[in-house]
Amino acid sequence: MDAPLRKELSETPLKGVRSNIVQSIRAFRVQDLQDSARSMGHHFLYANLAAGQSKQEVLELIAQQFMLPAHFGKNFDALYDCMTDPVHKSGPQPGFIVVLEQIPANAKFDKEAREQLLDIFRDTADYWADRKIPFRCFYSFL
């Protein structure tokens, strides 16, 4: 890690946070994470999922708020594909900070669906880790 990046990380709320992780947002504020992304030159992706009730609605909200391509298939495999391969092929990536806020917790989007969604982001973090690109995803439940 070069000195300027090390300095930026030491001055952000991400100090001590692994570079490729999916974790609860808990002590972090969305604005601080966005500011950190900006200061490090990372992509910042944010989705508020409170209005989603089902898997399809949650995926639609992510597609809209992440501005995924029109051909996005609105399934978990397609989400993984959109978060990895096309982005990788578009050139060097500086890093990512992703926020999934208010993931629904209801009968139509149950614990299994929530874990599947988070697994996609864990797999995405692993994908970018293999390429030595930071990918941090923070989430909260509704």
pLDDT in tens, 9-20: 445 678 888 999
**Mean of pLDDT over the chain:** 89
Instruction: At 105, list the tokens.
Output: 């917790």
Q: Which residues pair with 21 in a beta bridge?
A: 136
Query: What is the residue type of 46?
Result: Y
Instruction: At 106, list the tokens.
Output: 């209801």
Q: Is the pTM of this model over 0.85?
A: yes
- N-to-C CA span, the chain: 36
123: part of which helix (H) or strand (E)?
helix 111-130
* Number of independent structural domains in the chain: 1
C-alpha separations of 136 from 3, 55, 129 in Å: 20, 22, 10
Domain that includes residue 130, residue range: 22-141
CATH classification of the domain holding 42:
3.30.370.10
pLDDT (tens digit, 9 = 90+) per residue, 46-97?
999 999 999 999 999 999 999 998 888 889 999 999 999 877 778 789 999 9
